[in-house]
């Protein structure tokens, strides 16, 4: 056998090894750069560009809200089926168990009723 043939056989494994080494080197360099800038990490708060009207929200959307469980979701959907909510006060009046935490969860998730975010007193 010729020596050149051996190198041809080893080229593919060497290419794989080189790719792995480049990946490891890239990860090491990235880890030494430190954390991403705060602007890149921060997620935007819910704004009017992204909002969910509670009168149109699906069961899954409502259940995804922090502090809103299956039972409260069911009561919300039943009350909404009778008539759409006119505002957050109307919702609190018609649906038993809507806590301040639930309203905060709706606010954080970007929910609105007729263009108004949840209103809750401190």
**Tens digit of each residue's pLDDT (9 = 90 or more) over 34-83:** 665 544 444 444 444 578 999 999 999 999 998 899 999 999 999 999 99
User: What is the model's pTM?
Assistant: 0.58
Q: Is 72 left (phi over 0), alpha (psi -120 to 50) or beta?
A: alpha
Q: What are the percentages of helix, strand and coil residues in the chain, rounded to 5?
A: 55, 5, 40
Just give the CATH number of 52-112: 1.10.150
Tokens of 73: 């979701």
The whole-angstrom distance between residue 29's C-alpha and the CA centroid of its chain comes to 29
Q: What is the CA radius of gyration of the chain?
A: 27
Sign of CA dihedral 91, 108, 99, 119: negative
């Amino acid at each position: 056998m010729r020596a050149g043939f051996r190198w041809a056989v080893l080229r593919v494994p060497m290419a794989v090894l080189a790719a792995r080494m480049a990946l490891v080197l890239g990860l090491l360099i990235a880890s030494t750069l430190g954390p991403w800038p705060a602007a890149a990490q921060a997620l935007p708060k819910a704004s009017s560009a992204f909002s969910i009207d509670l009168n149109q929200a699906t069961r899954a959307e409502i259940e995804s809200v922090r502090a809103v469980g299956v039972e409260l979701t069911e009561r919300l959907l039943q009350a909404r089926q009778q008539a759409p909510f006119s505002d957050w006060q109307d919702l609190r009046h018609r649906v038993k168990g809507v806590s301040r935490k639930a309203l905060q969860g709706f606010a954080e998730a970007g929910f609105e009723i007729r263009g108004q975010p949840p209103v809750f007193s401190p």
